[in-house]
Structures are given as structure tokens and as C-alpha cells.
Amino acid sequence: MNTYLRRLRVSAVAAAFCLSAAIPGLALAEPMRIAFGDIATVESVHLLAAIERAKEQGVDVQVTFLKSEDIAAQAVVSGQADIGIGGPYSLLQKVKAPIRIFMQLSKLQFYPVVNTEFYKEWKDLDGQEIAVHSRGSGTEAIMRLMADKNGIKYSNISYVPGAEVRTGALLQGNVKATIVDSSGKRVLEKEAPGKFGFLPLGEVSATDEALFANTDYLSKNQKDVAILVESILTTWREVAADPKAAVALREKYKLLPDATPDMVADIEPYFSEAASTLPLNGGGEDAARDDFDFYTVSGALEGKSADLKVEDFWDLTALNAALAKVGTK
């Protein structure tokens, strides 16, 4: 009897599998594969929490952390990932890949920094090597823009993904000039006061990181993408209103389990400082226009900013659908 029942259960499972394969409506949903061109740190805890919230609404999200934004973008272009995180403007224009940005995640907030034993100001970097996050990233755009403004030329640009990695390289003496985020700035000031100098940057308004995807994926998965966008908007607004919320979200979803006490202690200060960089409406057309102005000046985009069309770089369908639910702010 037991053998008979086991065979019956196996037959039922096999029949269900065949039925789901034969009837598209019953087919198992494919996961939403997100390629993140960085490592998970306290800076991404709010995004990780938003992804958990999307999962709670039925979206099967799988995140893969990669070495750089370049690799993440390549994963989306090749179909190995559905959604990428980064700043793909150069890719969109030069490769003309069927990719569109659908949400701005953060605005640029970085600090060019030098080891004052070697350099004091921008002109000292003429003919010297610098390090940035990745090719085509906002960090590279800033450093290229500042080189142009200060009439200098770097001897080489090294690509070192991760602001915390570049911060560590500065402290170890492996890098003498780079660009870090607010967390890195605080670490440098605490660990080596007076050793590093932060160069003047001026006002910069442009996308640091955005969500982008293949246009075919966006059209076929509008509901799931809109849920993801809604989850991010809700989380961004919560964290911007109270940076302590980021700490609570980490605890609720058990995020970054390997984080050290120092890293956990840095969450609230980081989001207190980064709150102004969180776009509470997902960026949209206004962000695209700001990006056109910034990235054409910095050289990441070619042509005149006024001639660039939003629809050639952005798909606002999911963002507009999410804003219709949570409201503009």
C-alpha cells in the first residue's frame, strides 16, 4: 500500500508539471533577477529592505552581487539578469542596447579626496593617477568633469569598485587620490585626522544609481516592476523621514548578518547625511534632464543636452503606475 501511495504521489506531481508546462497560465513564474554591480554594505540596506517588501507582495526577487556596474550592465544586455543597478547612460547611447532606466535610486553625493602628503589641490593631480568606482559611473563622471574645470589631465584612471574599498586603499597607502562617499569621508576623518584633504566640488545634481532593464522585460512584467518601484518609494520616504528606520529595517529582515558593530553603528549617521540624495519620486523626467546636463558636460554622454530625448533613455511606465498608488511627494 505504501509503495502504491508513493507512486500515486509521484504520478500526481508529474502530471501537475506537465499541465503547468502545457497551459501558460499555470506555468511557474520566473524570478526577477537583479544584478547589483557592487557589494552589499550599510549603504544598500534600504534597497535590500525594499526588495524584501517586494517579496512580501509576491515578487520572487533574486539579487546577484557583481564586481562592477560594467558587469551588471553586461548581464542585463546578455539576458543573464533582468534588472541592473548603476548608471548606464554611456551604454545606452554608445551601444544602443534595448535598455531603459525606469527609476532613479540615488543622487550623487561624493567627496574627491587626496593624501595631503602628496597633493593639496586639484592642480596637483595634473599628470597623476586617480581611482574611481567603475567605467561610466557617476564617480568617474565627477572626476572627469573636475579635471576639465581645473584644466588638468590624469595620467591614468583606475577602477576600484566599492567606496569602502577605496577608503581602505587610501588608509593603506595604496591609493593617493580618489573619490569616496559620506561613510568613507567619516572613516578617513576618524582614522587619520588631517592626513587627507577633500577637494572642492561645487554643486552637482545627477543620478548616482538607477534601476534599468531590457525594454522587452519591462513590457512583459509591468506589474512586478511596479511593485518593486512602489516598495522602494515607500522605503525611501520612510528612511528620509527618520534615518533610524534603516536600522529597524535591517533588524526586521535580518539584513547584512555579517556586519560588524562599527558598520551597524554607521547606518543611522549614513542615512542622516544621505537623506537628501534619496529621490522620493523616483527621479523621472526631471532627473533625466539633470542627467543630460551633467553627463554631457562630463563627457559620459555625447551631444547637446537639449537635443537628448527622455524616451531614448527612460521608460516611465512602472514609475508612473507606482506613483499613482503611493502619491507624489
* Residues 238-269 pLDDT 10s: 999 999 999 999 999 999 999 999 899 999 99
Residue 23's pLDDT is 39
In whole angstroms, what is the distance from residue 237 CA to residue 279 CA?
A: 9
Exposure string of 56-92, with b = 16+ CB inside 10 Å and e = fewer, is eeebebebeebebbbbbbbbbbeeebbbbbbbbbbbb
Taking residues 267-280, what's their average pLDDT? 91
Residue 25's pLDDT is 40
Does residue 12 or residue 222 have the better pLDDT? 222
Closest alpha carbon to 294 in 305, 280, 306:
305
pLDDT band at 27 (very low <50, low <70, confident <90, very high): very low
Residue 162's pLDDT is 85
The yes-or-no verdict on residue 18 having pLDDT over 80 is: no
Taking residues 271-295, what's their average pLDDT? 93
The yes-or-no verdict on residue 17 having pLDDT over 70 is: no
Residue 197's pLDDT is 97
Give the CA-trace dihedral at 37, 113, 262, 108, to 10 degrees. -50
Share of the chain above pLDDT 70, in %: 91
The yes-or-no verdict on residue 29 having pLDDT over 90 is: no
The yes-or-no verdict on residue 185 having pLDDT over 80 is: yes
Taking residues 61-82, what's their average pLDDT? 91
Residue 68's pLDDT is 82
The yes-or-no verdict on residue 44 having pLDDT over 80 is: yes
The yes-or-no verdict on residue 137 having pLDDT over 90 is: no
pLDDT band at 21 (very low <50, low <70, confident <90, very high): very low
> Position of cell 597623476?
128
Taking residues 102-116, what's their average pLDDT? 94
Q: What average pLDDT does the structure give for the chain? A: 88
* String of DSSP letters for 303-318: S-GGG--GGGTB--HH
Q: Which of 10-19, 70-79, 159-168, 301-310 has the lowest mean pLDDT?
A: 10-19
DSSP state of 271: H
Taking residues 36-41, what's their average pLDDT? 86
Reported pTM: 0.78
Taking residues 134-144, what's their average pLDDT? 86
pLDDT band at 14 (very low <50, low <70, confident <90, very high): very low
In whole angstroms, what is the distance from residue 186 CA to residue 223 CA?
A: 40
